[in-house]
Amino acid sequence: MKKVGILTSGGDCQGLNAAIRGVAKALYESEKDKVEIYGIADGYRGLIEGDYRKMQKSDFSGILTVGGTILGTSRQPFKLMRVVGDDAVNKVDAMKKTYKKMGLDALVVLGGNGTQKSANLLANEGLNVVSLPKTIDNDVYGTDVTFGFHSAVGIATNVIDCIHTTATSHGRIFVIEIMGNKAGWLTLYSGVAGGADVILIPEIPYEPEQVLDVLEERRQNGKNFSIIAIAEGAISKADAAMSKKDLRIKRESQSALPGAGYRLVEEIDPEHKLPIRVTVPGHVQRGGSPCAFDRVLTTRFGAAAAKLVREENFGNMVALYGKDVVSVPLSETAGKRREVDPDCGEVRAAKDIGISFADE
């Protein structure tokens, strides 16, 4: 009897249940009654604390379209994995102990950058690990696309679409803060799809004065409204030039400002003379049903992960490369981030049609 454990770690996103379903159904199809699947609760926490249960085939029915994760999730920062806290628990040793206690033949891990690093750590510790890349940020290195990204793009684009109508009606400037602290893929795609006038992302530091120039140019051309899509991790050129320590001190002094959108307003309109409003859709971008693209992608990823388990090809992450689902060694993906290239095709196309990144 083959025993396989599954866990979902880090922030949730659309498609986690669909991916879990893909793994399980592919294993049941290939192994028939010779496989047992165990769901590990709340990500690595469940592996550390021994919180798991044997799953039934019925557990994986009816979850293709359901958002969230039936296994639960939590954040276990990679940098703290080897740190023994007040509870005196050695997390790595505890995870290895649970793995052996369960008698697992393989562990399937679904997660983003931090999750992949921890998966690689466990693989290096001798555990049979296979991983799947998920995150709405689309920043996992080694894959062209992560599942959850296209679903979130649809939601963020709809937010911009809805804001467009009220911005037009009232002649207002709207700053829409999109998720993405380290990478701007979500803001870039939804900004282009939603017809934003300005897109600000972490990889391209901006000049506040240039944002003002865009707004003034639009006003002079008879456009009484503007849409600015800004990533939560976007940063001005002045702030980007600061040391991490000085920037941290500055951010602490701006603690009354909830995020990048409000900081931008203070930078371009400190006296609050302009008709500016800020919208922060927040966690709604991570919720709800996965889009059709993500349902197909998670099914492909799940089937590919099951194949790696069958073939005992461990220490790998499944990935989309072009049109093909492939496997990539965790050692090559862990610790790296897939960021937006300022000269990539999407950015060039946006600039070609007049969208400003306030960087020139």
Domain locations along the chain: 2-148+290-333, 152-286
For residue range 148-177, list pLDDT tens digits in order.
999 999 999 999 999 999 999 999 999 999
3-state secondary structure of 285: helix
Q: State the CATH architecture for 152-286.
A: 3-Layer(aba) Sandwich (3.40)
Cβ neighbours of residue 152 under 8 Å, at least 6 residues apart?
13, 14, 136, 179, 186, 285, 286
At residue 121, the pLDDT reads: 95
**Other CB atoms closer than 10 Å to residue 307's CB: what's the count?**
17
DSSP class of residue 340 equals P
Tokens of 211: 């944002």
- What pLDDT sits at residue 163? 96
Per-residue confidence (pLDDT) for residue 93, from 0 to 100: 93
DSSP three-state, residue 128: coil
Residue 253 CB-half CA count within 13 A = 6
Q: Catalytic residue at 137?
A: yes
14: nearest Cα among 286, 328, 309: 286
- Report the C-alpha gap between 57 and 49 in whole angstroms: 25
Please report the pLDDT score of residue 318 as a whole number. Answer: 98
pLDDT for 54 beyond 90 = yes
Q: Over 80: is that where the pLDDT of 118 sits?
A: yes
Positions of E strands within 158-267: 173-178, 198-200, 226-231
Question: What's the rounded mean pLDDT across residues 261-274?
Answer: 92
Per the model's pLDDT, the better-predicted residue between 179 and 88 turns out to be 179
Asked if 292 and 303 touch (Cβ cutoff 8 Å), the reply is no
Residue 256 pLDDT greater than 80, yes or no: no
Position 122 pLDDT exceeds 90: yes
Integer angstrom CA distances of residue 243 from 248, 256, 266:
8, 22, 21
Q: What is the mean pLDDT of residues 227-232?
A: 98
- Does the pLDDT at position 319 exceed 90? yes
At 67, the pLDDT band (50, 70, 90 cuts) reads very high
pLDDT cut 90: percent of the chain above it: 87
The side-by-side arrangement of strands in the sheet containing 198-200 is 198-200, 226-231, 173-178, 276-279
Q: What is the mean pLDDT of residues 28-32?
A: 92
Mean pLDDT of the 291-317 span: 97
* CA–CA separation, 224 and 213 (whole Å): 14
Bridge partners, residue 52, by sequence: 40
What confidence category does residue 77 fall into, taking pLDDT thresholds of 50, 70 and 90?
A: confident
CATH classification (class only), 2-148+290-333: alpha beta
The Cα angle at residue 200 between residues 182 and 184, in degrees rounded to 5? 30
pLDDT digits (tens, 9 = 90+) for 170-204: 999 999 999 999 999 999 999 999 999 999 999 99
Q: How far is CA 339 from CA 181, 199, 352, in A?
A: 11, 15, 21
pLDDT above 90: residue 245? no
Note the pLDDT of residue 144. Answer: 97
- CA–CA separation, 203 and 231 (whole Å): 10
Predicted structure pTM score: 0.94
152 neighbors 338 (Cβ within 8 angstroms): no
Catalytic residue (one of 42, 87, 93, 137): 137
Do the domains 152-286 and 2-148+290-333 match in fold? yes
Nearest residue to 298 (alpha-carbon basis) of 18, 27, 24, 63: 18
Asked if residues 128 and 188 have their Cβ atoms less than 8 Å apart, the reply is no
Mean pLDDT, rounded, for 95-106? 97
CB 18 within 8 A of CB 51: no
**Cβ–Cβ under 8 Å, residues 297 and 15:** yes
Which pLDDT value is given to residue 248?
87
For residue 246, the model assigns a pLDDT of 83
pLDDT category of residue 81 using cuts at 50, 70 and 90: confident
